[in-house]
Amino acid sequence: MASFIILHMDMDAFFASVEQLDDPSLRGRPLVVGGRSNRGVVAAASYEARRFGIHSAMPIFQARRKCSSLVIVPPRRKRYAALSRTIMTILETFSPLVEPVSIDEAFMDITGCGRLHGSPRQIALAVKAQILSQAGLTCSVGVAPAKFMAKIASDMDKPDGLTIIEPDQVMGFIDKLPIQKVPGVGSRAEAQLLAMGIRTLGHVRPCPESLLIRKMGKFGLRLKALAHGRDDSPVTPLCRTKSISTETTLSRDTRDHNRLCAYLLSQSQAVAAEMRRKKFKARTITLKIKTADFKLHSRSRTLPLPVQSADPIYQAAVALLQDLSPAGPVRLVGVGASGLLAESTPVQAGLFSGGQQTRNGKWDKVDKAMDAVNLRFGVRAVARGKLPPSE
């Protein structure tokens, strides 16, 4: 195995800790950050709230039931994003190989950092101290010879923890590691693996590759490699955005087409604004609908030319809604853009005049669907600026 030294940094109860940092009156109190509506879930729970059995993804109404004095704070994403940038910048003073995985988590390759910054333990302690002094927040750190183990290690001693897995401890660690702790093993995969008698990652080692592939597909091969301690996935600093989307759970389910279109309009505007901010244009537009029975449905169309403004996104979304025509009340509606290209990418000539899209008639279909919508509802039926009713 290549001798990497990987560090994983994970902020402790990030959103909740930021709220307690900014408002001292919230410190020491059970608090969750979560949606304002009655249908929201917990995005982050303070350690005080966790003592009541409250955890992230729990519906707010359940959390409230568990703790009557619970403080519920709406999320301030911009504030979290700003602090996240501060934290990532701190990491970059230790190694140029920093890979943010989410707003509050990052991998760092510290393989070659010994000369400059000392032992892995010294580096981890310095990272924690810097984040505490410059951002005012604690984090937990894991250090290991591979990414997946560093990630698991950072979670082993929360909050404000530090766990180091030395190369000679790797096999012992794997043998005891509960299978559901392996990143990528969720509830479905866990159930499948338990049914095969696999309770720890070590149990995967003697399992025939053919069986793992049959049961788990490509992921089975990865599990097999991990069970042998093989994980050479590199820390990749430049991870480019693949999609931009927004979605809204309505305050109550609706069958009202015009109401859905009003959401689609404001969402198209938001997605377009974000694309312009990030200097992208997109070829594929996706409509997402969750019906009252919690079933998710999507429809997408790839356009002949990349778009960046709200109007074509909205037009496509409305056409896709026509196509999907959900049976029954709608709970959630969303719009996404993928197939992203840099804003500056030149548009290939000829796409309209004899390119594949025109020849196979896909564009015509979209066009006709749009015409149908415009005919039936009229573009003016959902006028500019008619935003969804405020909740």
Would you tell me which residues interact with DNA (CB under 7 A)?
35, 38-41, 43, 56-57, 59, 61, 101-105, 151, 183-190, 217-219, 241-249, 274, 283-284, 294-302, 323, 331-332, 334, 336, 338-339, 356, 359-360, 362
Cα–Cα distance, 174 to 186 (Å, whole number): 18
Give min distance, CB of 43 to DNA, in A: 4
Q: For residue 64, what are the CA distances in angstroms to 53, 150, 226?
A: 11, 34, 40
Candidate list 19, 92, 105, 391, residue with the active-site label:
105
Q: Is 15:137 a contact under the CB 8 Å cutoff? A: no
Cα–Cα distance, 331 to 328 (Å, whole number): 10
Q: Is 343 a catalytic residue?
A: no
Cα–Cα distance, 175 to 363 (Å, whole number): 55
Q: What angle do CA 101, 105, 108 make, to 5 degrees?
A: 80
Amino acid at 179: I
Cα–Cα distance, 204 to 202 (Å, whole number): 5
Q: Which is nearer to DNA, 25 or 325 (CB)?
A: 325
Q: Helix crossing, 310-324 with 362-377: angle to 10°?
A: 90
Which of 265, 274, 266 has its CA nearest to residue 244?
Answer: 274
Q: Which is nearer to DNA, 239 or 375 (CB)?
A: 239
Residue with tokens 């937990």: 140
Give min distance, CB of 119 to DNA, in A: 26
Q: Which is nearer to DNA, 92 or 323 (CB)?
A: 323
Give min distance, CB of 52 to DNA, in A: 17
Give min distance, CB of 168 to DNA, in A: 26
Q: Which is nearer to DNA, 305 or 381 (CB)?
A: 305
Give min distance, CB of 95 to DNA, in A: 21
Q: Which is nearer to DNA, 119 or 138 (CB)?
A: 138
Cα–Cα distance, 259 to 227 (Å, whole number): 51
Positions marked catalytic: 105
